[in-house]
Structure 1
Amino acid sequence: MNYNLLRAKEVFFILTLSTGLFNHVILIPLLLEAAGRDAWLSVITAFFPFLLFIWIIYYINKNTNQENISDWLKKRYGKLMAALIALPLILILFVHASITFINTSYWAEIYFLPTTPSFLISSVLLISCYLLSSRKLKILAIMSTIVLPMVVFLGFFIMSVNTTEKDPEYLFPLFLNGYVPFFKGIFFSLSGLTEIFVIILIQHKLNQKIQFKQIFWLGVVLLGLTFGPLSAAIMEFGPVEARNFAFPAYEEWKLLKIGEFISRLDFLAMFQWISGAFFRIGLFMYIINHYFNKRKSKLFLPFLYLIIYGFSFLKLDTYDINKFQYLYFLPFSLIIVVSITTVLFILVLLSKRREKAPLERS
């Protein structure tokens, strides 16, 4: 048995932390911008087309025998096809890692370390992520099994304590501005949920086959990580005020109060966010290094991190980043991910039929 390979639940732990950060924090202000009060219903409705995407991911995983997807494509369709499939997905991961890095650095500086030089905050975050992504994936998996339960506990903690601050009436009435915002909300919800395509990129690192129900429950968890803080933000602040916040999920921590003497425990939100950011950036950069750095150069990964570090000097604020994601990146990435996944599904289907044809003639 190769102990460097992962179990299915370890992969899902990593993805819950990495994709969970995006769905739980970064995506919510964009959903509120797109759909306003209707956003919570958009998230629920998005799960139905997402089920089809889950099945496609499962089909690809099952019928490629969990091989390295790039190697599988090279054997059957050539290097060009392998590059056309892998390169856009890798580029999307790199942009996601960069956005997560900039957002996390900016958030830590504004809310917790306003007197600390920004370059120092960025440097500490970058070095920590580099140390994660330069190790074996098994190490990330083991760490995720330790960190995720604590993150989940804090999530349920803030959800239960803030119950008295929630007013369900803020969730209604729906469709005040027609149905267009509702459908836009579905579109942006899918941009976060479809990130489970990462399973295809690391499937060769697993020591067991993934079952459909496992991917299904991962999808349910990711849906819950979006719906929970999104609906809570609307119920606690109202759709208009929640839309004005840069990070509504973090603002929910400021409402926390236990008795008369315990409040302002929002520093616990830092543990949640930093944990997700470490695993998200670390995982994505590990995948990029794994697919591009075939010669195992020790300078390739540091070079990529230096590029990301350079973005921190652009002095982009949350408004600029959210505008870039809302208008360009998330629509583009969703279209690319769905298109490439569909093409890959067709290629796998054709390959399977080719393999069956000689058997049927014999």
Structure 2
Amino acid sequence: MKKISSIQVLSIFFLSIGLLNHVILIPFLLSSGGRDAWFFSIVTVVTVPLWVYLLSRIIKNLNNESLATWLENRFGKPIKNVVLFFITIYLISLILATTKETMDWITTSFLFETPSLAIIIPFALLCIFLAHSGLRSIAISSSVLLPIVVILGIFVATGNIPTKDYSHLLPLFENGYFHGIKAFHFSSYGFAELILLAFFQEKFTDMLSRKGLAILCFGLLFLLLGPLTAAVAEFGPTLAEAMRYPAYEQWRLLTIGKYIEHTDFFSIYQWLAGAYIRVSLALFLITEVFQRKSNNMKLGILFGIGFLMVIITIVPFSNFKFLHFSQTYYYPGTFYFLLLLTAFLFIGTFIHSKEAKKHENETIQK
């Protein structure tokens, strides 16, 4: 079995959850918290030690055992099947939500007249190919894509410094001390999604340490705060809150000298790199749930989900209706699902496996 290093794991999650924190969640944070959103996002730093403890305990207890086997040894086959069913539904929803968000952004920002099928079919096929190639291919692709994404992020952040007015970040609590509290669970969503580490920890060459998990958490928080504070500083809280894609608008604001404008095409690379890895990882994890199935059946599952990706793109569901649905129902709902899943797996770490109990019984009999 080809395994990946902890450094490669970090690159995968910085791209996958990085897209979520850096782009997708920003309009939700601004609309729910306004100017106070950046403050309540910083407050989530107090939860980092808790997430690091929970994740490290769960990963350590899994002990290079697949999640399916671990669940069966502790809870039995029926509960294992129920848990894996809900995990699969969640992963499919993650794929469809990311695909819909990406395609809506493409068709409303720069490819207005291009048929959606001409965009989604190549994207779906590339994701299916990468997922079927295996986790190592996803890790290598992430390691190649991430450095350029980081360089472009530094470029837009520093290039827009002349247009930033950080006095827009204050005053806080104009509408009350708890007006922006709803932003807290959106800013915590990226941390909750780190439970995906438990789904494929048996494929790590080295155990992801608590220090590595802390670096990952702080890195994801930085990816959230960067574009969030920049949006308020550049556009003001009112205009930033009204924008559909604040992170993308920051690219449209960037100029190089007097004569070079329209640098926003760089954002295409950033967004598609994150979406590519995010969707491919979720597709791969779904095939891992069906690990005892044949290769042809796994391919069938991948193409079946690819078909759903095409359907979600061409269904006449407007961008703003999708925004409302995502903010009101989807992301809050999946956030609580991930919390429950994390709590369930954490409880499982206190339950002895059937094999351990069997070994204890044999020792007592001897």
| In 2, Cα distance between equivalents of 1:92 and 1:34 | 24
CA offsets per residue over residues 69-108 of structure 1, 9 Å max, x none? 1111112321122233333233222112111111111211
Q: CA deviation at 1:314?
A: 1.5
- Identity among equivalent pairs (%): 32
Contact 1:35–1:184 (CA<8 Å) still a contact in 2?
A: yes
**Does residue 142 of the first structure (1) align with residue 140 of the second (2)?**
yes
Aligned amino acid, residue 317 of structure 1: S
TM-score for the superposition, normalised by structure 1: 0.94
- What's the counterpart of residue 192 of structure 1? 190
- What's the counterpart of residue 213 of structure 2? 215
Q: How many residues align?
A: 359
- What's the counterpart of residue 329 of structure 1? 330
Contact 1:133–1:283 (CA<8 Å) still a contact in 2?
A: yes
Aligned amino acid, residue 61 of structure 2: N
CA RMSD of the aligned region, Å? 2.0
Q: CA deviation at 1:315?
A: 2.3
Contact 1:105–1:118 (CA<8 Å) still a contact in 2?
A: yes
Which of 271, 275, 278 is 2:276 aligned to? 278
Contact 2:120–2:309 (CA<8 Å) still a contact in 1?
A: no
| In 1, Cα distance between equivalents of 2:234 and 2:312 | 34
Q: List, as ranges, runs of 4+ consecutive aligned residues in structure 1 with deviation greater than 4 Å.
A: 354-359
Aligned amino acid, residue 335 of structure 1: Y
- What's the counterpart of residue 227 of structure 1? 225
Q: CA deviation at 1:192?
A: 2.5
| In 2, Cα distance between equivalents of 1:171 and 1:129 | 39
TM-score for the superposition, normalised by structure 2: 0.93
- What's the counterpart of residue 96 of structure 2? 98
**What secondary structure is seen at the aligned counterpart in 1 of 2:123?**
helix
| In 1, Cα distance between equivalents of 2:47 and 2:83 | 22
- What's the counterpart of residue 76 of structure 2? 78
| In 2, Cα distance between equivalents of 1:51 and 1:241 | 35
| In 2, Cα distance between equivalents of 1:318 and 1:238 | 23
| In 2, Cα distance between equivalents of 1:292 and 1:48 | 37
Which residues of 2 match residues 1-362 of structure 1 at below 5 A?
2=1, 4-292=2-290, 294-296=292-294, 297=297, 298-351=299-352
| In 1, Cα distance between equivalents of 2:322 and 2:90 | 15
| In 2, Cα distance between equivalents of 1:152 and 1:310 | 32
Contact 1:105–1:125 (CA<8 Å) still a contact in 2?
A: no
CA offsets per residue over residues 148-202 of structure 1, 9 Å max, x none? 0000000011000101111111101111111333221111111222111110011
Unaligned runs of 5+ in 2: none
Unaligned runs of 5+ in 1: none
User: CA 1:165 to 1:197, structure 2 compared with 1: closer, same or farther past 3 Å?
Assistant: same
